[in-house]
Amino acid sequence: MPTLHRFDGYRVFVPANDHRPAHVHVVKAENEAIFFLNCPSGPVSLRETIGFRASQLAAIERELNPLAPRLCAEWETIHGEP
């Protein structure tokens, strides 16, 4: 599971055997969220979450949105076309 980004204790990754559409998983402690990347340039959108509060999800979105083009490129490197 390649880690693409880390911030404030969160880990952003894409499982190598994952499926389309392009998305990332974000974990911290026992919590997880999955965000669609909406390639090629975002904005990201929440697919689902387990355990994160709304304020945490908003903070994750703020962090991921500027990174969307790079995350899309990483997805493409790992899986091919988004």
Kindly list the domain boundaries of the chain, sorted by start residue.
3-79
Closest of 64, 58, 53 to residue 31, by C-alpha: 53
pLDDT at 17: 86
pLDDT at 71: 96
Q: What is the per-residue pLDDT across 3-27, written as a single tens digit (0 to 9) for each?
A: 999 999 999 999 888 889 999 999 9
Res. 82 pLDDT band, cuts 50 70 90: low
Closest of 4, 16, 1, 5 to residue 80, by C-alpha: 16
Report residue 30 as tokens: 């026992």
Q: Is 55 helix (H, G, I), strand (E, B) or coil?
A: helix
pLDDT at 41: 94
Q: What is the per-residue pLDDT across 33-80, written as a single tens digit (0 to 9) for each?
A: 999 999 999 999 999 999 999 999 999 999 999 999 999 999 999 888
